[in-house]
Amino acid sequence: MGRTTVAASSAMPARQTNRVEALPAAIFLVLALIPAAALIGPESYVLGLFTRVMIFAIAALTLDFICGYGGLVSFGHAAFVGIGAYAAGILGAHGITDMLVTLPAALLVSAIFAYLTGTVCLRTKSVYFIMITLAFGQMAYFIAGSLAPYGGDDGLTVRLRSTLFGFQVLQNDRALYYVVLLSLLGSYLLCRSVVYSRFGRVFRGARENSMRMATIGFDVFRYQRVGYVISGTIGGLSGFLLANAAEFVSPAYMSWQRSGELIIMVLFGGLGTLHGAIIGAAAYLLIEEVLGGFTEQWKLIFGPLLVIVVLFARGGLLGLAGSIRGRLNRG
Amino acid sequence: MADPMLLINDLHKNFGGLIVTDGVTLHIGQGELHAVIGPNGAGKTTLINQISGLIAPTAGTINLNGVDITGMPADQRAALGLARSFQITSVLPGFSALENVALAVQAHSGTSYRFFGRADRDQAINEAANSALAEVGLAERGQIVAAHLSHGEKRALELAIALAMGPKLLLLDEPMAGAGREESERIIDVLRQLKGRFAMLLVEHDMNAVFALADRISVLTYGRILASGAPDAVRTDPQVVAAYLGEEME
């Protein structure tokens, strides 16, 4: 019984797509209205906070893509965030800030890293995959820490946000907010499209039963590697945006704790839904912000909260909302 | 005379000191339904796994329709027209029955490196998948998640997946395993209708099915072909009767 239930729930995203449309739309509407709402409060604080939320939402989204749909649990996903950030930071240190150069560079380096590490990681399965992605993530972390010309462990200040044709288009926090929002929307729509495309069907099938997929005629490894590169490249985008928002890059972006946080965001929001990752990232960072205001030890409170969500709402916050709605409808 | 569809020449497989396939030579003609029978542990599934590419043989060669496929990975063999069903049901449990079959159609119609456009709205694929489902009697069950199908329906779904691949050679590893009387009869009917359309290698313990369907039968014991020939010849072969059929054919 347990097994069929799990299988049924994992099939849901594929069948329910037309019905849950309203929620992602609502999420993006709220995000679009936040700058207006921020006018009545501490504007730059609110804008900064939600810019961060959306940047990590992009990273969590790409993790949900490989994890929730491909069954590939990466414990080194923060590496892509860091690589995207360092690409912008290092080029900036040499005076190159035009995003027509820096953005493609950030995406390309992330894609190459995903391709190379994916070629190795994807030879393994389950817990070995987790460990080897963790190993590559830590490798990136230590390499960044050893880049003495670029600040080493202390990180690197980004003096000038990315420019476009020499114009400082991101200097305004509000402009940066909307650019990040559009990036999140674009990443979400792209991942969604891929999930339901012919490619996505193969990618999802490989999670279900990779031996079956091989005997049907699919070279599972190659499809998974393409999925991994898509995920890593968009992950690099989030890093590029993070460097601009924080005006700082640091090896800490790539630490395994960061990778763990991304996994928590995805689980917290609801695995295998894409928009759940956005909710999860928002919930995690906002809870961190609020609880962190009260105490240094906010994780003491957050930890049990996560346990409760994972135990009692296996679909994350989205699943919880769904089951509450189901109960209300019934009685 | 055309090349045989499948030509296995002096195939050996050892797992360490254990000899599982011991010099098997076998050929299956175009459109022939060839049954392989033998006691449990005779190496039937290992033989099928070697033909489909899930296990590499220790020595020997396998030819599919004139192409040497001995060292080829499973997905490339599938692309050449080799389809199989599994003894232990192997479908995509979280996908609907229709999507299971649609993937098999998709694998053989155009590239799957397409990232835009919904795959489930591809009419050509859905029609081909639905007709494969109809052939095995699952026409009404397309929208059911595979994990929720009955055991017999899952067996039929395996067959539909294989059919949707447009096979040249179909390997059937105990397609009736675990199915009830009625379900077995239905699968036999389906196989009878498919007979002649493409070559089939049938591994099965149900002797009624084997003798009703097979053009030729090979008997496998201890990894070796004991006898091979028309059903009537095999049925009366004294060696076969002693080794395997004996008690069952009383």
pLDDT at A14: 43
Of A198, A208, A226, the CB nearest to B94: A208
Of A198, A215, A223, the CB nearest to B78: A215
pLDDT at A58: 98
Question: How many residues does this entry show for chain A?
Answer: 331
Of A205, A214, A230, the CB nearest to B92: A205
| B142 within 8 A of B133, measured Cβ to Cβ | yes
Q: Sign (positive/negative) of CA torsion A252, A121, A191, B146?
A: negative
Of B93, B120, B122, the CB nearest to A208: B93
A45 or A13: whose pLDDT is higher? A45
CA distance B104 to B160: 9
Identity of the amino acid at A219:
D
Write out pLDDT tens, residues A171-208: 899 999 999 999 999 999 999 999 999 999 999 999 99
Question: How many residues does this entry show for chain B?
Answer: 250
CA distance B180 to A117: 48
Residue A13, SS3? helix
Q: B171: which DSSP letter?
A: E
The DSSP H or E segment spanning B133 is helix B123-135
Q: How many CB atoms are closer than 10 A to CB A149? A: 8
**Tokens linked to A101:** 């150069």
Burial class (CB in 10 A: 0-12, 13-18, 19+), A201: buried
Is B117 in CB contact (< 8 Å) with chain A?
A: yes
**Angle, CA of B105, B173 and A224, to the nearest 5°:** 45
For residue A223, what is the nearest residue in chain B, using CA coordinates?
Answer: B113
CA distance B194 to B126: 21
CA distance B238 to B56: 34
Q: B204: which DSSP letter?
A: -
CA distance B69 to chain A (A): 14
Of the residues A196, A203, A212, the best mutation for testing chain B's interface (the one with the most B CB atoms within 10 Å of its CB) is: A212
What secondary structure does DSSP assign to A114-177, as a single string?
A: HHHHHHHHTTS-HHHHHHHHHHHHHHHHHHHHT-GGGTGGG-EE--S--BBTTB-TTSSHHHHH
**Angle, CA of A258, A262 and A263, to the nearest 5°:** 120
Instruction: Tell me whether residues B90 and A216 touch, CB distance under 8 A.
Output: no
Is B145 in CB contact (< 8 Å) with chain A?
A: yes
CA distance B93 to chain A (A): 6
- What ipTM is given for this predicted complex? 0.89
Write out pLDDT tens, residues A201-253: 999 999 999 999 999 999 999 999 999 999 999 999 999 999 999 999 999 99
pLDDT at A326: 83
pLDDT at A159 over 60: yes
| A220 within 8 A of B107, measured Cβ to Cβ | no
What's this model's pTM, rounded to 2 decimal places?
0.90
CA distance A71 to A85: 27
Instruction: Tell me whether residues B114 and A226 touch, CB distance under 8 A.
Output: no
For chains A and B, CB pairs below 8 A equal: 125
B250 or A122: whose pLDDT is higher? A122
pLDDT band at A15 (very low <50, low <70, confident <90, very high): very low
Q: What is the mean pLDDT of chain A?
A: 90
pLDDT at A306: 84
pLDDT at A217: 94
Instruction: Tell me whether residues A200 and B115 touch, CB distance under 8 A.
Output: yes
Rounded to an integer, the average pLDDT of A5-12 is 38
| A253 within 8 A of A78, measured Cβ to Cβ | yes
Helices (H), chain A: 2-16, 22-38, 43-64, 78-93, 99-121, 126-145, 173-196, 198-208, 210-216, 220-246, 256-269, 275-294, 299-312, 316-330
CA-based nearest residue to A240, from A113, A99, A96: A99
The DSSP H or E segment spanning B61 is strand B59-64
Identity of the amino acid at A16:
Q
**Angle, CA of A172, A177 and A179, to the nearest 5°:** 95
A-contacting residues of B 45-104, CB under 8 Å?
52-54, 73-76, 78-79, 83-84, 86, 90-96, 99, 102-104
Write out pLDDT tens, residues B175-232: 988 888 888 888 899 999 999 999 999 999 888 899 999 999 999 999 999 999 999 9
Ranges in chain B, pLDDT < 70 = 1-2, 245-250
CA distance B104 to chain A (A): 6
Chain A residues touching residue B103 (CB < 8 angstroms): 201-202, 205, 213, 216, 218
Helices (H), B174-225: 181-194, 207-213
The chain A residues in contact with chain B (CB within 8 A) are 3-4, 7-8, 10-11, 14-15, 193-194, 196-202, 204-205, 208-209, 211-220, 223, 226, 230
Of B83, B103, B111, the CB nearest to A201: B103
pLDDT band at A328 (very low <50, low <70, confident <90, very high): confident
